[in-house]
Amino acid sequence: MRAIGGNAIRPAGDGAALVTHDVANQPPPLTGRNLFEDDRPLAEAVEREGAAWALGMLSEAGTFWGGEPQRWGEQANRRPPTLQTHDRWGNRVDLVEYDASYHELMAAGIARELHCGPWRTPRAGAHVARAAQFVLAGQAEAGFLCPTTMTFAAVPALRATPRVASEWEPLLTATGYDPRLEPAVEKGSATCGMAMTEKQGGSDVRANTTRARALGVGGPGEEYELTGHKWFCSAPMSDLFLVLAQSDEGLSCFALPNVLPDGSRNAMRIQRLKDKLGNRSNASSEVEYHGAWARMVGEPGRGVATILEMVGHTRLDCTLGAAAALRAQVAHATWHAAHRSAFGRRLADQPLMRNVLADLALEAEAATAIALRLARAYDRAAADPAEALLRRLATAVAKYHVCKRVPEHAYEAMEVLGGAGYVEDSGLPRLYREAPLNAIWEGSGNVIALDALRALTREPAALDALLAEIELAAGADARLDAFVRSLHAELSGPATLEARARRLVERMALALQGSLLVRHAPAAVADAFCAGRLAPDGLAGYGTLPAGVDVEAILERHTPAG
């Protein structure tokens, strides 16, 4: 023992415990949860929208996605994919290598039919059941849902050409996952990617310059050779890609396999992987086609119309992915506040914090309600023209509004945790980085708002269908009634609609969310939503709900058990 300044210092090696304090006032880990049983609004929406038969399956799925996949998601983001363009001898190989955790996520999602449920087992409520599980899986990791969504959404697009669909649909709806680069028919399963945008055009895909040269007579199902580039090709290790290219007749859609039937790689070269803000577990790339072999899907010159069958379903999944993020953020925030004390009281007992938490919870519940109602429209569109019309407009409306609400929500959830939320281990930084994705993917804000206007112009009955759905709550809440009247006023003045498109679409979304909550949610939730979103001074920053809102009832629905 030695002394410094008169104080005795005991060396660590002589048996003294290196303890300076007790760790206290820390929330327990938010792990091992049943994500479905914890989410009462989701369970209620599943039953309400026609998938009560799936409640048992979804409860089991809630336990699964709340368990080991949480670790897989963390690991897949810590170890993002890498590109190997050449082997050691200089041969071009174009291989993207993923961590094993990513493959675990992919295999789990495919085994549970996230990529194919409504196609493989079509039944009433199949889209709603899949939508609910998508929300659960998205709380484990969002990145692997990108190729899962594209595989799911490719099926209705391929059906435009039965010759091509008959070959690929059985593979795309198989429940096995095999990441090897082998002919898909030998593997017995396949995943699908998509390549639309180019450097010079971005969302303006009609500016694409990739050329398609017919190898024979040309036309639907026939062989072509593609030469050009794509600025964004997501999941470049997929077995199949839907690609836009210019044929003699105009912009057309093509099915381009990664591996040719003889086992050789198609002439698609991966130039680089994107260094993205979020979604890091999934690879996105720039590619070039050097005479790549493909077959036309849909009619010549009708590529945009053909691939829009895919885009509609991906936009549904953008809304679902946003709902998943909102729910995860609420879970983190409410769990922390329920187990953390400051200034002599639990955070969850402090009035201002309760206001913030309840406001965050309202956002998540409204997103869940509109997302699953939209999924029901996908279930019923084939048999009910009104549902088909509602689907057309509500897809754009929900995708625009719900996705745009996620980034600020993520920040506010992070702020609930304070400095601890800014640390990577909390999980909030990963959610924050991911937050803008769904608003940007498959059409950023202006593109989606203009698409909604296009629906109003080309299919006026779609607006009637949306308004009819909203009007089902007429007379139930004066604030909602007044808001709907103001929405009707917004629809006048067609000369300025384009400049006001964002405002109009936002108000359509809020009116639909308000109608759904007034009809189906507990009175405390509906009242708070109307007060905080539809009143003249509503939709301010989170945590600005007016006095009198029953925050206790709201938080009781949204705080994870335990």
Dihedral over alpha carbons 208, 210, 216, 221 (to 10 degrees): -60
* Minimum mean pLDDT range among 38-42, 44-48, 282-286, 306-310: 306-310
Is the distance from CB of 179 to CB of 96 less than 8 angstroms? no
Q: Residue 11: which pLDDT band, with cuts at 50, 70 and 90? A: low
What CA–CA distance (Å, rounded) separates 517 from 496?
31
Q: What was the pLDDT predicted at 1?
A: 47
Burial tier of 255 (Cβ tally within 10 Å: 0-12, 13-18, 19+): buried
Tell me if the pTM is above 0.85. yes
CB burial readout 68-80, b (16+ within 10 A) else e: bbbebbbbbbebb
Q: What share of the chain is helix, strand, coil (3-state, %, to 5)?
A: 55, 15, 30
**Cβ atoms within 10 Å, residue 499:** 9
Q: Does domain 305-558 have CATH number 2.40.10.480?
A: no
Average pLDDT, the chain: 94
Q: What was the pLDDT predicted at 14?
A: 55
Q: Looking at the predicted structure, is the pLDDT value of residue 6 above 80?
A: no
Identify the CA nearest to 539 among candidates 479, 490, 463, 494.
Answer: 479
Tokens of 440: 């940007």
Q: How far is CA 342 from CA 338, 348, 562, in A?
A: 11, 10, 20
Q: Which amino acid is at 437?
A: L
Report phi then psi at 295, rounded to 5. -125, 145
Burial tier of 105 (Cβ tally within 10 Å: 0-12, 13-18, 19+): buried
Query: What is the CATH number that goes with domain 44-301?
Result: 2.40.110.20
Give residue-wise pLDDT tens across range 86-126.
999 999 999 999 999 999 999 999 999 999 999 999 999 99
Highest mean pLDDT among 13-17, 23-27, 112-116, 456-460: 112-116
Tokens of 143: 């990145």
Report phi then psi at 270, rounded to 5. -85, 115
Q: Looking at the predicted structure, is the pLDDT value of residue 4 above 60?
A: no
- Domain locations along the chain: 44-301, 305-558
Q: What was the pLDDT predicted at 10?
A: 53
What CA–CA distance (Å, rounded) separates 123 from 110?
19
Tokens of 58: 């979804």
Give residue-wise pLDDT tens across range 412-462.
999 999 999 999 999 999 999 999 999 999 889 999 999 999 999 999 999
Contacts of 199 (CB under 8 A, 6+ apart): 229, 231
Give residue-wise pLDDT tens across range 290-304.
999 999 999 999 999
Q: Cα dihedral sign for 222, 227, 231, 236?
A: positive
Give residue-wise pLDDT tens across range 478-512.
999 999 999 999 998 778 899 999 999 999 999 99
* Minimum mean pLDDT range among 5-14, 268-277, 435-444: 5-14
Q: Residue 184: which pLDDT band, with cuts at 50, 70 and 90? A: very high
Residue ranges of the alpha helices (H) in 340-444? Answer: 351-380, 385-404, 406-417, 428-434, 437-440
Give residue-wise pLDDT tens across range 373-407.
999 999 999 999 999 999 999 999 999 999 999 99
Please give the helix or strand (H or E) that residue 268 lies within, else none: strand 268-273
Is the distance from CB of 435 to CB of 410 less than 8 angstroms? yes
Tokens of 447: 């593109």
Identify the CA nearest to 274 among candidates 261, 287, 286, 257.
Answer: 286
Give residue-wise pLDDT tens across range 310-348.
999 999 999 999 999 999 999 999 999 999 999 999 999
Q: Which amino acid is at 237?
A: M
Is the distance from CB of 318 to CB of 403 less than 8 angstroms? yes
What CA–CA distance (Å, rounded) separates 241 from 415?
41
Q: How far is CA 526 from CA 74, 241, 405, 442, in A?
A: 35, 43, 18, 31
Cα angle 373, 390, 468 (rounded to 5 degrees) comes to 90
Q: How far is CA 434 from CA 137, 411, 429, in A?
A: 15, 11, 9
Contacts of 257 (CB under 8 A, 6+ apart): 184, 239, 240, 241, 266, 293, 294
What CA–CA distance (Å, rounded) separates 232 from 524?
45
Share of the chain above pLDDT 90, in %: 91
Q: What was the pLDDT predicted at 3?
A: 47
* Minimum mean pLDDT range among 4-18, 151-165, 345-359: 4-18
Q: What was the pLDDT predicted at 494?
A: 77
Q: Residue 15: which pLDDT band, with cuts at 50, 70 and 90? A: low
Residue carrying the six token digits 């961590």? 99
Q: How far is CA 176 from CA 105, 149, 150, in A?
A: 12, 16, 16
Give residue-wise pLDDT tens across range 185-233.
999 999 999 999 999 988 888 889 999 999 999 999 999 999 999 999 9
3-state SS assignment for residue 325: helix
* Minimum mean pLDDT range among 245-259, 274-288, 488-502, 543-557: 488-502
